[in-house]
């Protein structure tokens, strides 16, 4: 697959109740690196391995949740083209100027049918991974906490799943990799979608609670790193939701946990490669337990009900 349009999840702004407590958690437990603060008090962070200035923006608020989801596109020409394509499809767009976020160029912001705010951007300051680009070493020293590789994907919930799914396929060039069918055997209850050859970059779940977030996920390198994440979370008395377990969907391994404000996060490992000539996998409603948690074959109530 030639990545010529939307490249990957690039950043997301997460609302937190206590900014300094959250910075401590995201730095010392999750293991992100702080890269800046702006005049409004927002804190910018990235993983050690990410090269762009930030992938996570923490904003103090009176309730947890996610403000917007940013995706990086190939270049400025692609940004302008997708802006035009969105408007032709009937989606209103807003140009957010350079400088609204630290180190980030102009963004095209739009609301998808599930109520979530997405934005596309082509330019962000590249600050590197400390290894350099000539004869680089392979080890980044002095990593803290879980220290994932990257912001990997999101699972988000809303009523008009069909509208968001179609928009991402028809305009943004995503492919559906997996789906769970509702009890009627025909309606999509949830879909996993990719703009690359990953198993997924975003998942939409049908839910009466539009514009809600289930989790943001961070990739780790191995099952051993995932087990270390579980051990560290337990040692630090972080609130674990469930795991470590394996997903049937994507075949990835996982542990879910909450930040101090109640935002659910995931560390994720594995998953297959997907190419556009592949058919999506389909899971029937009676196998939803195996689809989500393959080992236990059942879902806990908190996993089903808690969103922000």
Active site residues: 153, 200, 215, 247, 256, 266
**What number of other Cβ atoms are within 10 A of residue 88's Cβ?**
9
Residues 263-294 as b/e (b if ≥16 CB within 10 A, e otherwise) read bbbbbbbbbeebeeeeeebebeeeebebbbbe
d(CA 196, CA 224): 26
64 burial via Cβ count (<10 Å: 0-12, 13-18, 19+):
buried
CB 205 within 8 A of CB 249: no
* Token pair recorded at residue 262: 């109640």
Query: DSSP readout, 8-52?
Result: EEEEEEEEES-HHHHHHHHHHTS--EEEEE-TT--EEEE-SS--B
């Amino acid at each position: 697959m030639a990545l010529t349009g939307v490249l990957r999840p690039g950043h997301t702004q997460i609302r937190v109740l206590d900014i300094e407590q959250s910075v401590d958690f995201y730095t010392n437990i999750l293991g992100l690196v702080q890269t800046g603060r702006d005049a409004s008090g927002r804190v910018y962070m990235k993983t050690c391995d990410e090269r762009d200035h930030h992938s996570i923006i923490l904003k103090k608020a009176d309730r947890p949740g996610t403000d917007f989801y940013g995706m990086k596109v190939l270049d400025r020409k692609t940004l302008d083209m997708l802006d035009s394509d969105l408007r032709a499809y009937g989606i209103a767009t807003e140009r957010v100027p350079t400088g609204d976020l630290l180190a980030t160029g102009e963004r095209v912001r739009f609301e998808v049918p599930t109520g979530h705010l997405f934005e596309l951007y082509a330019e962000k300051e590249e600050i590197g991974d400390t290894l350099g680009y000539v004869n680089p070493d392979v080890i980044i020293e002095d990593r803290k906490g879980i220290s994932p590789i990257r912001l990997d994907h999101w699972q988000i919930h809303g009523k008009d799943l069909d509208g968001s799914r179609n928009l991402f396929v028809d305009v943004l060039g995503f492919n559906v990799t997996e789906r769970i069918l509702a009890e009627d055997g025909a309606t999509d209850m949830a879909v996993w979608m990719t703009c690359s050859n990953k198993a997924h970059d975003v998942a939409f779940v049908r839910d009466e609670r539009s514009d809600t977030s289930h989790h943001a996920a961070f990739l780790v390198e191995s099952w051993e790193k995932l087990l270390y994440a579980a051990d560290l979370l337990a040692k630090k008395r972080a609130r674990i939701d469930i795991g470590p377990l394996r997903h049937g969907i994507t075949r990835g391994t996982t542990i879910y946990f909450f930040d101090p404000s109640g935002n659910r996060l995931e560390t994720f490992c594995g998953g297959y490669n997907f190419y556009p000539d592949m058919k999506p996998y389909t899971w029937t409603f009676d196998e939803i337990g195996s689809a989500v948690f393959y080992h236990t074959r059942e879902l806990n109530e908190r996993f089903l009900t808690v969103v922000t």
